[in-house]
Amino acid sequence: MKTQAQLSICFVSPKAYPLLAQDPNIKHVGGAELQQSILAKAFVKQGYKVSMICLDHGQEDGEVIDGVTVYRAYRQEAGLPVLRFFYPRMSSIVSCMKRANADVYYQRCSGMLTGIIAKFCQIYNKSAIFSGAHNDDFTINSSKLKNKKDKFLFQYGLKRIQQIIVQNSEQQKLLQKNFARDSIIVNNAYEPPANAVNDKKGCILWVSTMRQFKRPHLFIELLKLLPQYEFKMIGGAGDKDIYNNIEKLAQALPNLTFCGFVPFTHIEAHYDQARLVINTSDTEGFPNAFLQSWARSIPTVSFYDCGARDNDGNEVCDRVEDINDMKIRVEQLMTDEALWEKRGAQANNYFVNNHSVDSVVKHLGSIVESL
């Protein structure tokens, strides 16, 4: 068996380059990509040989960022419809995987990459990890898989990949029920800036990519019900029609600051200015926005259960049933200082005990070494 210093891991994460390189000029911020960037840099510090496969943004092939070697794949717009699946997409991914020559390949989010990686590792006697990023990753008819090809390749890979990692017990149950596969829960990781704070008199913040399941319109409904408070909305156009509609509505709302897309390098300051963070999704995996909030002792309010529990079994996030219930809970947290302090402290304590980068990498590292 190789020693830790000899082990190599490759993160197959095409859209992660702007987060890994902290490039504010490329408009993409994804939770899965953020987690892989955090983990890749943390594995370098632990002595592993680390690489990542990313889209071609004009960077040098083999560029090294914080110890992570970046292999350049295809350009997002390259190739002809239908044919581009084979060339340049699949061919360049496989070429990058060969050049990385890693012991373990790590990939996150459902999609065709899961099948390609599983087959590659079978052929070349390598190991692979698939990590879920959303509860929907483990449903039979995932809305994230847009065509039969992607669905077939993902399910092909999911049945054959060596190790599956999930974010919460709900994903674990779905995976076992729908695909008869076991899994290991590994928490998301986050390291707040040294000067991270919260603002007791700050705004009510919403941060996410604007897509249908994120339900940003519910945040608009909430702020209309609470015109006495200041709200702020941050998010790029995952769905252009939804984004354009929300942006238009925002122009007529005096208590809303609509920021649109904000590069990750600039987003921390917005959390520092928040008192509460709201999530309006119908389902998710485990939002990075929760970690960025809890690291600052900022309470969160959500419609769905992310699975986070303290030692007494209490939910860390304040979960509500509908928009009126959310209005009531937000008012309580905005006006009751003792309650706000208590919930913020509970959230921070949970974060410190469960989501530090060191503890997550130690757990994941033991899985890598076992493979």
Q: What is the pLDDT of residues 322-351, one digit of tens each?
A: 999 999 999 999 999 999 999 999 999 999
Q: What is the pLDDT of residues 108-143, one digit of tens each?
A: 999 999 999 999 999 999 999 999 988 899 998 887
How many CB atoms lie under 10 A from the CB of residue 61?
A: 12
Domain range annotation of the chain: 4-189+356-370, 203-354
Tell me the pLDDT of the chain averaged across its residues. 93
Options 3.30.559.10, 3.40.50.2000, 1.10.10.10, 3.40.50.620; CATH for 4-189+356-370 is: 3.40.50.2000
Q: What is the pLDDT of residues 276-292, one digit of tens each?
A: 999 999 988 888 999 99
Q: Which two tokens stand for residue 55?
A: 């889209």
Contacts of 267 (CB under 8 A, 6+ apart): 29, 207, 234, 292
What is the distance between the alpha carbons of residues 64 and 269, in angstroms, rounded to a whole number? 27
Q: Which CATH architecture has domain 203-354?
A: 3-Layer(aba) Sandwich (3.40)
Q: What is the pLDDT of residues 158-201, one digit of tens each?
A: 999 999 999 988 999 999 999 999 999 999 999 999 899 999 99
Asked if the domains 4-189+356-370 and 203-354 are classified in one and the same CATH topology, the answer is yes
pLDDT given at position 110 = 92
| Nearest residue to 179 via CA among 143, 142, 226, 211 | 142
Q: Which amino acid is it at 116?
A: I
Contacts of 196 (CB under 8 A, 6+ apart): 268, 271, 272, 295, 296
pTM of the model: 0.89
Tell me whether residue 275 is exposed, middle or buried, using C-beta atoms within 10 angstroms of its C-beta: 0 to 12, 13 to 18, 19 or more: buried
Confidence of residue 31 (pLDDT cuts 50, 70, 90): confident
pLDDT given at position 115 = 97
pLDDT given at position 5 = 59
Residue at token pair 């390291």? 191
Confidence of residue 82 (pLDDT cuts 50, 70, 90): confident
Q: What is the pLDDT of residues 229-275, one digit of tens each?
A: 999 999 998 899 999 999 999 999 999 999 999 988 899 999 999 99
